[in-house]
Amino acid sequence: MSSSKQTIYDFTVKDAEGHDVGKVVLIVNVASKCGLTSSNYAQLKELLDTYGDKGFVIATFPCNQFGGQEPECEVDIRNFVKDKFKFEPDLYGKIDVKRYSPTTSPKSMEKDIETLLEGKSL
């Protein structure tokens, strides 16, 4: 990656053979004890079911910085989502969120997902 890159939108990931991976990635923070947990995970699953076979993936990053709404460890979070919402998210380690509010709805990003899947810029 070049140091001249300014935002995540400027990066392209290559596979082991050096080819562009070509996936649209939604990076989202998640919490299992938030008032929006059920609707957000349901929307994430819906987006993945709709666009997953078209090169769309969701990278979920748990965050405990908004009122302690994600106190669980990553293994427990994965099991919670698998049991309650019937899918296994691409779950990563806990982070502190630098952007977007915890009330941002995953489904509200659908138009951007479609735009990126069409190969257009936001």
- Longest CA pairwise span in the chain (Å): 43
| Confidence band for 7, pLDDT divided at 50, 70 and 90 | confident
Residue 120 in contact with residue 110, Cβ under 8 Å?
no
What pLDDT is recorded for position 101? 60
The arithmetic mean of pLDDT across residues 68-86, rounded, is: 94
Angle at 90 between CA 87 and CA 91, to 5 degrees: 105
Residue 72: pLDDT band (50, 70, 90) is very high
pLDDT of residue 1: 44
> SS3 letters for the chain?
CCCCCCCHHHCCCECCCCCECCCEEEEEEECCCCCCHHHHHHHHHHHHHHHHHHCEEEEEEECCCCCCCCCCCHHHHHHHHHHHHCCCCEECCCCCCCCCCCCCCHHHHHHHHHHHHCCCCC
Tell me the domain boundaries of the chain. Answer: 21-102
Compute the mean pLDDT over every residue in the chain, rounded to the nearest whole number.
84
Whether the full predicted model's pTM is greater than 0.75, yes or no, is no
Give the pLDDT score at 5. Answer: 59
Please give the CATH topology (third level) of the domain spanning 21-102. Answer: Glutaredoxin (3.40.30)
Residue 90 CA to residue 27 CA, distance in Å, equals 10
Where does the pLDDT of residue 122 fall: very low under 50, low under 70, confident under 90, or very high at 90 and above?
Answer: low
Residue 99 is predicted with a pLDDT of 47
**Residues labelled catalytic:** 34
> What pLDDT shows up at residue 74?
92
